[in-house]
Structures are given as structure tokens and as C-alpha cells.
Amino acid sequence: MSSQASPEPRNPSQSYGFAMIVAATIFFLFGFATSLNTSVLQPHLKNIFTLTYFQAMLVQSAFFSAYFILSLPAAGIMGRLGYQKSMVLGLAVMAVGALLFYPAATTISYGVFLSAVFVLAAGVTMLQVAANPFVTQLGPPALSSSRMNLVQAFNSVATASAPIVGGIFFLSKDVATKAGGTMSSANQVTAANAVKGVYIGMAIILAILAFILNRLRLNLPEHVQGRTVASSDSIWRHSHLILGALGIFCYVGAEVSIGSILVNYLHQQNILGLAENTAANYVAVYWGLMIIGRFAGTAILRKVASGTVLSTAAAAALILVLVTMFTGGALAGFAAVAVGLFNSVMFPTIFSLAVVDLGPLTGKGSGLINMAIVGGAALPPLQGYLADTIGIQMSFLVPAICYLYILSYGITGHKVRSAAA
């Protein structure tokens, strides 16, 4: 069974190498932005505004709610503009969002920070809606999972780099300015201003890449350019797509929940007792293990069935989460970090399985799947609430349930059982 049906035949002599390079660059950029906001900016703002875990997790809600609100409109825009122009638009919106961090830091307003996060995420949403199906169709259908893992590996390089950058520019300043667990007004100004340079630099890079991408002529087939084909079919007839979207909801929710709370978790004296800026380096390891996993997954998925790879990874992640819940010290801390290795193959593999045989509905299917990334908005506050009420260690119950569902999708849920048209 193929992992992606194509609306029209490909030219076997067509080379998509340059298009893959462009896609890998795009995945790197939105990976960096996502990780910087959800892994490092969140604890930084928690320190500035003296927030509870629940309040701090609203950063994730602001970021990932954009996927729920904007994914289907983005899919519609993609159908009109094509994949390339949609990606250009996404980069431009991201640049605007990055610039909004300047007034947020100047006014020292948590609400303005959350607004800036949402606008930045709106651009990321547009990029992902266009870039994911773009990659699945740049070559043989049977290798779509492998290609997705390859570009996601570059995304992981970015997500591993961002905590290091943020730890240097954000959290190291928090250590210097915090006194008695809170910041003075003067120190709040210093800590808030720390974000300006990073986000202005990001805006400049995004604007330059948008300009370059807009000038490129990729010479791609019409269906890859985003022109849709009329169909009486509906995405709601494809159960593997619907269940896959729920899988993406669980995966993103689990991944972001762990990555977001990891700095505070490793800071706990009964775990590793690390300073927050030091703990940020372990967050980089959490994301960095995904680099190893995705490059390895690219090779493994050429030989092993996607469902088998997914269910194995989910089972391993579930075991590690249970270890971190019911042990302590270094074992619990390192188990939480190690989950990143098995997270690595989940998003690209679930995505590829979910869009099997969608044909001309692939664009709409991608929009639905990207809506499900709202799991990153819904589940981290839930884990934050549990951390406030039953303890940070037992709050890992949230990702445990998520990995259990992904395990079931890898075993049976991904099998194509489309209703008759």
C-alpha cells in the first residue's frame, strides 16, 4: 500500500533535490521559532511576571491555538495561491509576529507577548499546511514517510538549537535578576528587553528568506504547486485521516507539554536540582535526540512498515514517561529527556499514514491535521494545572495517555477504512 496517492503521475526523471533543500530550510526556521517560544520563552515569562504553571502554559495556548483557528483557512488560501506562494506568505506573517515582540518587551505586558506569539504562530501554521503535503509529493509515494522524517530532522536541529540560544539570552539573565523568587520593576525591564534582539534578528532572517523564496522558480508539477482537483469525496469519509488527526493532537500535546515543563521539572530538588539556565541545556538534549531519531527514522522507514515504527516508538515513550512518574532523581530526569528520541518519528509518520490515498483531498487533509496541532495549546495547560494541584511529577499522566493512544493508532488506527463515496 502506498503512503501517499498522487493526483497525477510523476515524471520519474524529475529531480526534486532543490525543492527538498528549500523545504528543509523552511522546516528549520519554524522549528526554531516553535522551540524558542514554547521551551524557553515560556519559563522566561514565568519569571518576569511571577506566573503559576497554568498561567505560564498560556504561551503554548496562544501559539498552538493558531493551528486550530487558521489551518483550514490556510488550506483554502493554499488552494488558491499554491504551495510556494503560501510558504512565502507564511514567512512574511512570521516576520511580523517576531517584530511584535519589540512592543511587548517595551510595555512589559504579558497580553501583548501572547498576541505576538499568536501572530508568529499564524505564520508557522501557514508554512506547515503548505510544506507538509509539499514534501510528501516530492518523490515516490512509498517513501513519503522517509522524506517527511528527513525534513523533520532539520526541524529538530532547530528545536535543539533554540533552547541553547534562549538559555544564553533569556534564562541566564533571569538568574542574575531574580531575588527572593520575584523580580523588581527594574529587573523586569532588563529581563523583558532581553528578547528584543533575538526576535528582531529572527524577523530579518524570515523577511530575507521570504524574498528569496518568492524569486525562485522551482519548476514543479501543477499538483505540487497547489492546484486542486474537483472531487465529490470528503475528508470525513476517511477514518484513518480522522484518527490520525487525533494522533497529531496527542503527539503535539505530549511533546510540547514535556518540552515546556522540562526546565521547571529538572529544577526540582528531588529530580536533578539544576539551575534553570543549566536545565535549558537538557531541553536542548531533549530536542537534539529528535535529530538522531529522525535521521535514523529516515533510513529505518525505507525498510520497516510505518505502523510498526510508530507503535514501537510510542511504546518506548510510554515506558519512559511511566519511569519518570514513578521513580526519582537522575533516573526520572533522564527518562523525561530521553522521550525526545522516540518523539522523533511520530509527527512525520502519523502525517504520512493519515494522508494515504487522499489524492486530491490531500490539501484539505493537511489542513485538518494541522488543526489538530492545537493539542499543543490544549494539553500543556492541563499538565500545568495538574502540576499545580497534584505535583509536577504526576502531571506526566497527560503525555502518558497521549502515547497510549498513539500506540493504538500505530497498531490498528492507521489502516485505511474509507467509507464508500
High-pLDDT (> 70) share of the chain, %: 87
Average pLDDT over residues 350-375: 81
| 12 has pLDDT over 60 | no
How high is the pLDDT of residue 220? 57
Q: What is the mean pLDDT of the chain?
A: 82
CB-CB contact of 67 with 371 (8 Å): yes
Provide the whole-model pTM.
0.70
Average pLDDT over residues 231-250: 84
pLDDT confidence band for 171 (50 / 70 / 90): low
Report pLDDT digits (tens) over 322-351. Answer: 999 999 899 999 999 999 999 988 988 898
| 319 has pLDDT over 80 | yes
Cα distance from N-terminal residue to C-terminal residue, the chain: 20
Give the distance from CA 6 to its chain's centroid. 26
How high is the pLDDT of residue 315? 97
Which domains are seen in the chain, by residue range? Answer: 17-225+235-413 (1.20.1250.20)
Report pLDDT digits (tens) over 22-50. Answer: 888 888 988 888 888 877 788 888 888 88
| Angle (CA) 254 131 100, round 5° | 75
Average pLDDT over residues 110-123: 92
CB crowding 357-371: b at 16 or more within 10 Å, else e: bbbbbbbbbbbbbbb
pLDDT confidence band for 85 (50 / 70 / 90): confident
DSSP code for 268: S
Report pLDDT digits (tens) over 180-199. Answer: 456 667 777 877 888 888 89
How high is the pLDDT of residue 3? 36
Question: Which of 98, 113, 97 is CA-nearest to residue 48?
Answer: 113
| 216 has pLDDT over 50 | yes
pLDDT confidence band for 235 (50 / 70 / 90): confident
| Cβ atoms < 10 Å from Cβ of 197 | 12
